Amino acid sequence: MNAEIITIGDELLRGEIIDSNKARLAQRLMLLDVDCRHQVSVLDDQDDMRDVFLRAAARSDVVLVSGGLGPTRDDLTTEVLAETFGRKLELDPASLAAIEGFFARVGREMADVNRKQAFFPSGADVLANPIGTAPGFALAVPRRVDGTVDGTVDGVGAGAAGEVVFFSMPGVPRELDRMMDEQVMPRLARLLEARDRAAVSGAPRRVVRAALLRTFGMGESTLEAELRDLARDGEVELGFRTAFPDNSLRPVARAATAEEADRRIAEVVRAIRAQLGPVVFGEGEDSMESVVGRMLRDAGRTLATAESCTGGLIAERVTDVPGSSGWFLGGVVAYSNRAKSSLLGIEPALIEREGAVSEPVVRAMAEGARARFGSDFALATSGISGPDGGTATKPVGLVWIALATARSTHADSFVFAVDRSRHRMLTSQVALDWIRRSLMGEPLVGPSLMRRAGGSSAPG
């Protein structure tokens, strides 16, 4: 089954908003093992819309349309779909009542234009919108053999094979998501079942299961090399997704039954974890900070921070985790040398002699924070994130990171040749990863792709 996604709106074509609807719809199609072969965006323009609808009816089995269901004159989806496929517009009294009810609930007066949203092409199946004024609809039309470029309608269905189903949904993301999940996904599942039953020959449709494994510290090409054997298994497909500074792995397993697909995806997740060890830091919606928080909470340990170049980013990330007050005691952003001395108790002479970006100072910062906050762990960072401030011996990109624990203080330096924002993000990621690795008894390493500037670990 081939699917197509069409998003409608001048604002998309002008680049005024980034269209995330297509990605969210496509992800859901993947879970049903429906191939999305085409994605199209089109202006609120009658001729252009007719053209893309005709073309979709010629090449796709299912067409997800988002947008153009509002009450204004620019909102043309219903009208153009009806006209393109030779349907009349009919009032659905139940939808009109629902729209009136919506306005009553939010305490606003319903404008006359909103009546328009209760009209649908004849034969359409209305899709309820419990959180907005625009109901959607499903419309099955005969397949077209050809989609012409000039937009003329040359009659529908001559010699066509089967039907094409259009699902027209609102463009507002949360309304779209809910309608897709509650109304469209079950209908798609039924369409797929009917197709399987009708299939005279060929393999039945397969069940799909996907996982998402979050990794840090290994480049995409290294990951690919490490997992080459897994990727060779025809039953499992392995996708890579980079969202700096993480690389995520997305294994997708297909099988004849749900049980078999579940077994396969569990197996591949186990195999990936066995191969990559601590490089995998989480699954699904996990972030480095949420994983670190969970581990600290479970271990009954606490954290404090002393940040220079990361400027509060580590503290900001960990406090973004709900419940972080249980294990994060606080931090100091010691941007000036005076703050390093007055708030963390670092000897001004040490800073003078070694420089703020140095191993002795970053160690003293971590140990000072640990003492002042009374935490089990303390992280410190000091570096030159750029774009200015580098010297011959301390180039832009150099950073020292330290982790103080009850037993010892570990410090290491890196040169991250990336821009200021990425430098700060990467530094905070390595620092947080050290907490995780420390709690797992793993060596405190940095990302394999970044040139390491030196380092040492000594009792502190």
Strand partners, 250: 239
The nearer residue to a copy of itself, 16 or 112, going by C-beta atoms, is 16
Place of tokens 């049903």: 32
Near a copy of itself by CB under 8 A: residue from 122, 391, 408, 421: 421
Window of 93-101, 274-282, 400-408, 418-426 that interacts with a copy of itself by CB under 8 A: 418-426
For residue 65, state whether it binds a copy of itself (rule: CB under 8 A). no
Q: Cβ-count burial of 79 within 10 angstroms (0-12 exposed, 13-18 middle, 19+ buried)?
A: middle
The nearer residue to a copy of itself, 65 or 124, going by C-beta atoms, is 65
Q: How far is the CB of 10 from a copy of itself (least distance, A)?
A: 9
Q: Cβ-count burial of 237 within 10 angstroms (0-12 exposed, 13-18 middle, 19+ buried)?
A: middle
The nearer residue to a copy of itself, 124 or 169, going by C-beta atoms, is 169
For residue 104, state whether it binds a copy of itself (rule: CB under 8 A). no
For residue 285, state whether it binds a copy of itself (rule: CB under 8 A). no
Let me know: does 272 contact 230? Beta carbons within 8 Å: yes
Integer CA distances (angstroms), 68 to 74, 81, 88, 178, 187, in order: 7, 11, 18, 17, 22
The nearer residue to a copy of itself, 374 or 443, going by C-beta atoms, is 374
Let me know: does 218 contact 242? Beta carbons within 8 Å: no
Residues in 332-371 that interact with a copy of itself by CB under 8 A: 332-336, 338-339, 342-343
For residue 374, state whether it binds a copy of itself (rule: CB under 8 A). yes
Q: How far is the CB of 38 from a copy of itself (least distance, A)?
A: 7
Angle CA(315)–CA(316)–CA(320) in degrees, nearest 5? Answer: 115
For residue 161, state whether it binds a copy of itself (rule: CB under 8 A). no
Q: How far is the CB of 30 from a copy of itself (least distance, A)?
A: 5
Let me know: does 340 contact 365? Beta carbons within 8 Å: yes
| One-letter amino acid for residue 11 of the chain | E
If we measure between CA atoms, which residue out of 295, 265, 266 comes closest to residue 278? 295
Element holding 237 (H helix, E strand): strand 236-243
The nearer residue to a copy of itself, 149 or 161, going by C-beta atoms, is 149
Number of residues that bind a copy of itself (CB under 8 A): 78
For residue 329, state whether it binds a copy of itself (rule: CB under 8 A). yes
The nearer residue to a copy of itself, 103 or 335, going by C-beta atoms, is 335
Residues in 387-406 that interact with a copy of itself by CB under 8 A: 387-389
Q: How far is the CB of 429 from a copy of itself (least distance, A)?
A: 14
Residues in 304-323 that interact with a copy of itself by CB under 8 A: 305, 307, 310-316, 318-320, 322-323
Near a copy of itself by CB under 8 A: residue from 257, 325, 408, 456: 325
For residue 44, state whether it binds a copy of itself (rule: CB under 8 A). no
For residue 273, state whether it binds a copy of itself (rule: CB under 8 A). no
Q: DSSP letters of 101-162?
A: HHHHHHT-PPPGGGGGGGEEETT-EEE--TTSS--EEEEEEEPPS---TT-----S-TT--S
Integer CA distances (angstroms), 304 to 327, 336, 391, in order: 9, 19, 30
Q: Cβ-count burial of 318 within 10 angstroms (0-12 exposed, 13-18 middle, 19+ buried)?
A: buried
Let me know: does 365 contact 308? Beta carbons within 8 Å: yes
Let me know: does 42 contact 195? Beta carbons within 8 Å: no
For residue 61, state whether it binds a copy of itself (rule: CB under 8 A). no
For residue 1, state whether it binds a copy of itself (rule: CB under 8 A). no
Q: How far is the CB of 93 from a copy of itself (least distance, A)?
A: 27
3-state secondary structure of 207: strand
For residue 17, state whether it binds a copy of itself (rule: CB under 8 A). yes
Window of 124-132, 143-151, 200-208, 255-263 that interacts with a copy of itself by CB under 8 A: 143-151
Residues in 212-271 that interact with a copy of itself by CB under 8 A: 239, 241, 250
Estimate the crossing angle of helix 288-299 against helix 420-440, to 10 degrees: 30
Q: How far is the CB of 353 from a copy of itself (least distance, A)?
A: 20
E runs forming strands in 18-96: 35-42, 62-66, 89-91
For residue 153, state whether it binds a copy of itself (rule: CB under 8 A). no
Near a copy of itself by CB under 8 A: residue from 53, 166, 216, 373: 373
Near a copy of itself by CB under 8 A: residue from 39, 222, 275, 287: 39
For residue 422, state whether it binds a copy of itself (rule: CB under 8 A). no
**Which token pair is 320?**
């973004």
For residue 162, state whether it binds a copy of itself (rule: CB under 8 A). no
3-state secondary structure of 204: coil
For residue 187, state whether it binds a copy of itself (rule: CB under 8 A). no
Window of 75-83, 265-273, 383-391, 406-414 that interacts with a copy of itself by CB under 8 A: 383-391
